[in-house]
């Protein structure tokens, strides 16, 4: 097959996204709808989609993506975008997306050995930032789908063209997922809390989505 025909074969249904992305997104939504939050006398049928995380549909989807994660079965961009559109319907979607992104970064950090994590913390700040940039490039590459990704260390910046989140959500709220990933991953590598700033967004008319980081004083 030629390169041209190969490129044409790639599209929204091409498996390209780690199944951990939709798994953590749905688990986060479920956790924010825990039964202990239900008020006495609350009519759950009236409070949907706020309680969508407790539905049988979400339960079955979580089970499915847990199995997909065990098998390391990549998911299509279209599948992940459809799930993001489900979350976007909620008034607390920004919070869900960012928390899911942070969980993704924590998971990636925890998968490293204890010795590896300690070694990172002993590096000079500049080397830690370069290590963080490499880790961000690696993790975001699993989450970007067919988007074009660029990560630089100094100054730290992430650029993502044709992102899943901007395609799924014209309002830009879904981009909080990547914001959470970047902020938590830099925090873990640098050993000091950082915030991620989503300075440019394709959903708001920019050519690319861009993130930078700020140390929290």
pLDDT digits (tens, 9 = 90+) for 142-174: 999 888 999 999 999 999 999 889 889 888 899
Residue 146 contacts residue 78 (beta carbons within 8 Å): no
pLDDT digits (tens, 9 = 90+) for 44-86: 555 544 566 567 788 899 999 999 999 999 999 999 999 999 8
Domain residue limits, the chain: 16-33+44-215
Residue 139 has pLDDT above 80, yes or no: yes
Please report the pLDDT score of residue 56 as a whole number.
75
Mean pLDDT (the chain) is 87
Predicted TM-score (pTM) of this structure: 0.86
The full DSSP string for 30-68 is HHTT-GGGPPTT--HHHHTTTTGGGSHHHHHHHHHHHHH
Pick from 93, 96, 89, 80: which is nearest to 49 by CA? Answer: 89
Strand partners, 209: 160
Residue 213 contacts residue 194 (beta carbons within 8 Å): yes
Its sign, for the CA torsion 67, 69, 73, 79, is: positive
Cβ contacts of 4 within 8 Å, gap of 6 or more: none
Please report the pLDDT score of residue 26 as a whole number.
94
Please report the pLDDT score of residue 167 as a whole number.
87
Site of tokens 């998971």? 107
Helix (H) or strand (E) holding 211: strand 209-215
- In whole angstroms, give the CA distance from residue 29 to residue 52: 8
- In whole angstroms, give the CA distance from residue 80 to residue 169: 12
Residue 208 has pLDDT above 90, yes or no: yes
Q: Which two tokens stand for residue 10?
A: 């790639």
Please report the pLDDT score of residue 4 as a whole number.
37
Please report the pLDDT score of residue 159 as a whole number.
96
- Mean pLDDT of all residues in 124-137: 95
- In whole angstroms, give the CA distance from residue 115 to residue 133: 20
- In whole angstroms, give the CA distance from residue 82 to residue 93: 14
Please report the pLDDT score of residue 186 as a whole number.
96
Residue 41 has pLDDT above 80, yes or no: no
Architecture of 16-33+44-215 per CATH?
2-Layer Sandwich (3.30)
Residue 120 has pLDDT above 90, yes or no: yes
Among 1-5, 8-12, 40-44, 129-133, top mean pLDDT goes to 129-133
3-state SS, residue 152 = strand
Please report the pLDDT score of residue 49 as a whole number.
46
Pick from 154, 164, 162: which is nearest to 83 by CA? Answer: 164
């Amino acid at each position: 097959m030629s390169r041209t025909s190969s490129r044409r074969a790639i599209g929204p249904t091409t498996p390209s996204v780690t199944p951990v992305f939709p798994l953590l997104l749905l688990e986060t939504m479920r956790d924010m709808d825990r039964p202990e939050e239900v008020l006495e006398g609350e009519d759950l049928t009236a409070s949907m989609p706020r309680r969508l995380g407790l539905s049988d549909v979400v339960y079955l989807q979580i089970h499915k993506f847990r199995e997909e994660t065990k098998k390391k079965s990549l998911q299509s961009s279209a599948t992940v975008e459809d799930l993001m559109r489900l979350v976007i319907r909620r008034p607390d979607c920004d919070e869900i997306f960012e928390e899911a992104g942070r969980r993704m970064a924590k998971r990636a950090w925890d998968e490293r050995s204890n010795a590896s994590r300690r070694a990172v913390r002993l590096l000079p700040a500049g080397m830690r930032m370069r290590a963080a940039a490499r880790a961000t490039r690696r993790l975001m590459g699993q989450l970007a789908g067919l988007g074009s990704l660029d990560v630089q260390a100094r100054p730290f910046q992430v650029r993502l063209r044709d992102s899943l989140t901007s395609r799924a959500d014209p309002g830009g709220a879904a981009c909080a997922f990547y914001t959470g990933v970047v902020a938590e991953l830099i925090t873990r590598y640098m050993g000091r809390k950082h915030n991620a700033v989503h300075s440019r967004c394709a959903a708001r008319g920019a050519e690319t989505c861009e993130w930078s980081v700020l140390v929290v004083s």
